[in-house]
Structure 1
């Protein structure tokens, strides 16, 4: 289950980075040499991208693959923090 959350968080990171640049999915597809519909699946957390895809996306965003993973980790930490806060309120 944890890995599925990571896949979803990765998709959210990709979407956030794309939106900060005001790119459409088609524009990101052009910059990364990936299919637009595949990018949609990544952003929705429906697929687990390969290392090659990670590399292509990082290059498109002009960052390292490590920086893209760090962005994903930040989202994961925020998600967990929110979950714990809600559990404390409910508990």
Structure 2
């Protein structure tokens, strides 16, 4: 899994842990829901500024969004 896919997977997982819809997280992070959807699909690149906003709203360190899973299955 490349870093782009890792980010997308972590973003989707962390949003689901909080039980937020894409619309709720997008609103909180001040981005559009369609942009968030594209990020979760790995279709768009993301800036450090947006990573920071998302991490802040998800209450995690920005590095958590880029951390590769230790599960190799």
Matched ranges for 1:20-39 at <5 A: 20-39=17-36
What is the root-mean-square deviation in Å for CA atoms of aligned residues? 1.5
Instruction: State the match for 2:57 in structure 1.
Output: 60
| Whole-Å separation in 2 of the counterparts to 1:67 and 1:24 | 19
Is 1:44 matched up with 2:41?
Answer: yes
- Report the Cα offset of residue 64 of structure 1: 1.8
Please list every run of 5 or more consecutive structure 1 residues that lacks an aligned counterpart in the other structure: 83-91
Q: Which runs of 4+ in 1 moved over 6 A?
A: none
| Richer in helix (by share) | 1
Instruction: State the match for 1:14 in structure 2.
Output: 11
Q: How many residues align?
A: 73
Please list every run of 5 or more consecutive structure 2 residues that lacks an aligned counterpart in the other structure: none
Contact 2:6 2:66 in 1 (8 A): no
